[in-house]
Amino acid sequence: MPFISFEGIDGAGKSSHINWMADWLREQGCVVVTTREPGGTPLGERLRELLLHQAMVADTELLLMFAARAEHLAQVIRPALSRDEWVLSDRFTDASYAYQCGGRGIEPARLSILEQWVQQGLQPDLTLVFDVTPTLARERLRAGDAPDRFEQEQQAFFERVRAVYLTRADAEPQRMRVVDSSQSLAVIREQLRRIVQPVVDKAK
C-alpha cells in the first residue's frame, strides 16, 4: 500500500492534515499507520528528544536523523508496508534535505550517501509539501509550546528550508505535490482529496 510523507516548514500545519487524512482513508476502509520523524519508535523518540533540545553540530544532527530513520524503517515502515497497510509519516527524508542541507548547509551529495545506505531505494510514493511563508508559519507557532532548537531559528533559516522543499518538488513532480497552506482548511482538504483519491482507487 502507499507510503505518504507530509512535509513543510515548522508551523505549516501538516500535523492536523495528517490526522484528518488518516480518518478520511479509514472511512474508505484503508488500514492506516500514522507515524512521525524524527521518532516513530521507542529509540527514535529518545533520539527526537536529543535532536530537538540538545545542542550539537550539523553532522551529528544529520547522522542522528538517519539513525532514527533506520530504526523507523526497520520497525515500523517496512513491516506496515509488507502487511499491506498505508503509512502516513509526518516528515521523512525530504526534511533532511530541507533542514540539514538547506538550513544547516550540509552538502546534499553527503546526505544522498546516507539516503541510499538507509533506504536502499525505498521512497515515499507521494510527498505532500505544505507551503507557507515563514512569516505566516511563525504567527501560527507563536500560539504553541516553548520553541525547540529548530523553531528557534531565524526567518532566513526557514526561507532556505522552504526553498529546498520547493526546488525538490519542482524536480520530482510525479512524487511531490505542493499544497498552498495559507488557504482555508476546507480548500486544503478539497485539494488533498483530489490528490489522494486516485491513489486510493489505484490501491484497491
Q: Cβ 49 to ligand TYD, closest distance in Å?
A: 11
- Cα(41)–Cα(68) distance, integer angstroms: 8
- Cα(120)–Cα(9) distance, integer angstroms: 26
Q: Interface with ligand TYD includes 20 (CB under 6 A)? A: no
- Cα(98)–Cα(105) distance, integer angstroms: 10
End-to-end CA distance of the chain: 9
Nearer to ligand TYD, 152 or 183 (CB): 152
Say how many residues touch ligand TYD, by CB under 6 A: 12
Give the binding range for ligand TYD (CB under 6 A) out of 27-35, 72-80, 94-102, 166-174. 94-102
Nearer to ligand TYD, 139 or 190 (CB): 139
Q: Cβ 8 to ligand TYD, closest distance in Å?
A: 9
Q: Interface with ligand TYD includes 7 (CB under 6 A)? A: no
- Among 1, 10, 33, 160, contact with ligand TYD (rule: CB under 6 A): 10
- Chain mean position to CA 80: 18
DSSP of 128-163: EEEE--HHHHHHHHHTSSS--TTTTS-HHHHHHHHH
| Chain positions contacting ligand TYD, by CB under 6 A | 10, 15, 37-38, 65, 90-91, 95-96, 99-100, 150
